[in-house]
Structure formats: C-alpha cells, structure tokens
C-alpha cells in the first residue's frame, strides 16, 4: 500500500468531521506502529473551509508561517506534518490541507503548485487515480479495511472495500482492482459522471 506523489484524496470541501477523519486515513492499517509510514501520507491533500483552516491555526503555535501557508508543530510520522494553505484561485481564497515531508526542502512549494494547477483546470473532472482515493476517504471504517492472510489473494497491506450484490450480500475487493462500473457505483451520484481528467493529479 505504498503511495507516492502529490495526490488529491477527496472531492469537494471537507467539513470538520471529515477533515479529522482524513487526517489519518490509514489509521487502521495492519502493523500501524511498525516502520516509517511517511511515504503513505506524504503528498495527500484535500480542500477544507476557511473556518477549519482558521481553527487549525489557533490550536497550537505553528511550526512556521510562510505567507499564506503554515505548518503544524506536531508531526504525524517521521518528518511528515500538516501544512495548511490559503490560496487565491480564480479570484477566490480557498483553503487546503496537505501532508508534506519536510525533509524534502521543495515539498511544500511542490504541493502548493500542484494544488493550484489541479484546481485551476477549466473543466471539473476527476482523474482515474482520484476516484478510488475519494471512495476510500468517504467510506466508513466498517466498510473498508486491509487484506489479510484469510483473503483468497492475500497481498500485504492492500486496501479493500466492501461491495454489495443485488441480493444484499457483501464481498471485499481490492480498492486498486475496482472496475469502472464498481467505481461509479461507489461514488456519490454528483461525482459519477464527471469527465476523466487528462492530467494525473
């Protein structure tokens, strides 16, 4: 389940409850406290409200403030911490949360530029990679998990999601193996028919 690159993990604007859920989207992974999970979190980002941005600013003194960005003093794992952005996009100030690995001196600026590039596209769309990430972010813990030794095709730490048949029975399937139809079924109605973005985010 090693992830990489800068990636949008939720479509729409997260409210406070959803924001706190997504601060640790991988909390229930197997062997949570074994090894360095920096690669799992670094690069994840999503949009939040201005109210939640300001709330997080007031919780603790930031590690640093740079213009319209600030970093949390408490690190999630290794050298990865929360960075909050207030960015002017198409004339409006919008706020975002991202996990940046501060051992990489260019990580924060790379994320800032990636968010601006992603959010200034002229057509609202989702990439193929964003669709399963949104499904994972929006699914309750009871209906998502990780493959284990009891799975027919065991792959360590791979994410699985519950799918339901017409008869109402459930089965688990690897998130990365969802078909286009299964992805469409799991997405909220308002996101199902968005065009596929040509540029990966």
Q: What share of the chain is helix, strand, coil (3-state, %, to 5)?
A: 30, 30, 40
Pairwise CA distance, residues 143 & 102, whole Å: 33
- Domain final position from 61, 96, 119: 119
Instruction: List the structure tokens of 81.
Output: 């911490």
Domain ranges, residue 168: 130-192
Exposure class string for 95-125: b at 16+ Cβ within 10 A, else e: bbbbbbbbeeeebbeebbebbeebeeeeeee
The least confident of 36-40, 48-52, 56-60, 61-65 is: 36-40
Mean pLDDT over residues 34-38, rounded?
70
Residue with more model confidence, 67 or 172: 67
- Domain final position from 119, 139, 168: 119
Residue with more model confidence, 129 or 93: 93
- The rounded Cα 76 to chain-centroid distance in angstroms is 14
Pairwise CA distance, residues 112 & 87, whole Å: 8
One domain, residues 115 and 184? no
125 in a domain, yes or no? no
Average pLDDT of the residues of the chain: 80
Q: pLDDT tens, 142-155?
A: 778 777 655 555 55
Mean pLDDT over residues 85-97, rounded?
93
2 in a domain, yes or no? no
Domain tally, the chain: 2
197 in a domain, yes or no? no
124 in a domain, yes or no? no
One domain, residues 98 and 147? no
């Amino acid at each position: 389940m090693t992830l990489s690159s800068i990636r949008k993990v939720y479509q729409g604007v997260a409210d406070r409850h959803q924001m706190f859920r997504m601060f640790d989207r991988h909390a229930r992974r197997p062997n949570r406290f074994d090894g360095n999970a920096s690669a799992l979190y670094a690069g994840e980002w999503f949009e939040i409200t201005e109210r939640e941005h300001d709330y997080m600013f007031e919780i603790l003194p930031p590690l640093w403030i740079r213009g319209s960005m600030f970093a949390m003093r408490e690190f999630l794992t290794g050298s990865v911490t929360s960075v909050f952005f207030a960015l002017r996009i198409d004339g409006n100030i919008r706020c975002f949360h991202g996990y940046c690995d501060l051992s990489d001196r260019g990580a924060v600026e790379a994320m800032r530029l990636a968010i601006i590039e992603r959010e200034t596209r002229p057509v609202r769309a989702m990439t193929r990679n964003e669709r399963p990430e949104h499904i994972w972010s929006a699914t309750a813990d009871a209906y998502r998990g990780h493959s284990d030794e009891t799975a027919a095709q065991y792959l360590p730490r791979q994410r699985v999601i519950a799918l339901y048949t017409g008869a109402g029975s459930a089965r688990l399937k690897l998130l990365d193996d969802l078909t286009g139809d299964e992805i469409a079924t799991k997405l909220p109605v308002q996101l199902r028919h968005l065009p596929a973005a040509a540029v990966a985010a």
